[in-house]
Amino acid sequence: MAFRNVTHFFVEFGDCDPAQIVFYPNFLRWMDAAGHRYFHALGVPPWQLRPERAHDLIIGTPIVDVHARFIAPATYGDRIEIETTIAEWRGKSFVMEHVIRRDATLLVEGREVRVFARRHPVDPARIQAVDAPASIRERWERSTG
């Protein structure tokens, strides 16, 4: 079974909108954070600390496609958990799935397609998709049952 990581967030007053529920882009913010924590749980160092040469430096995993279904709202004072997994590897891209719950209540299901990116070797103002680093794939395979 694919490696899963569970992480927690606390819904703050300032995360909610005048309807008193979570302003929805914050759910995507938490999914993004859960993705970083997923790689961290695999033992991958934060992107800025990668020990490769500058032009190979992975600077992040930009989003290509996101889909989320919002099943129940959350409000401030709620403690939520996000269960994250990589559901599929596709060469330069991968599919990350997030399930957000408050206790037993399903709140949100999210699915992100992302790529690994580095600065373009010729024009550093641009970014370039690259194959998933082998070291990251291997860590994931070792952690997957």
Contact 33, 68 (CB under 8 A): no
Residue type, 76: Y
Contact 39, 85 (CB under 8 A): no
E strands in the chain: 4-10, 58-60, 63-70, 79-90, 93-102, 105-119, 127-130
Residues 4-43, one symbol each (x = binds its own copies by CB under 8 A, - = not), give: ------x-xxx-xxxxxx-xxxx-xx--xx--x---x---
Residue from 3, 6, 70, 139 that binds its own copies (CB under 8 A)?
70
Closer by beta carbon to its own copies, 119 or else 139: 119
Q: Is 17 a catalytic residue?
A: yes
75 is a site residue for its own copies (CB under 8 A)? yes
Closer by beta carbon to its own copies, 48 or else 134: 48
* 3-class secondary structure, 50: coil
Count, residues near its own copies per rule CB under 8 A: 42
Phi, psi torsion values for 25, nearest 5 degrees? -60, -20
2 is a site residue for its own copies (CB under 8 A)? no
What does each C-alpha distance from 69 to 43, 54, 102 come to in angstroms? 30, 38, 15
Site for its own copies in 90-109 (CB under 8 A): none
80 is a site residue for its own copies (CB under 8 A)? no
Contacting positions for its own copies (CB under 8 A): 10, 12-14, 16-21, 23-26, 28-29, 32-33, 36, 40, 46-49, 59-60, 62-70, 73, 75-77, 117, 125, 127
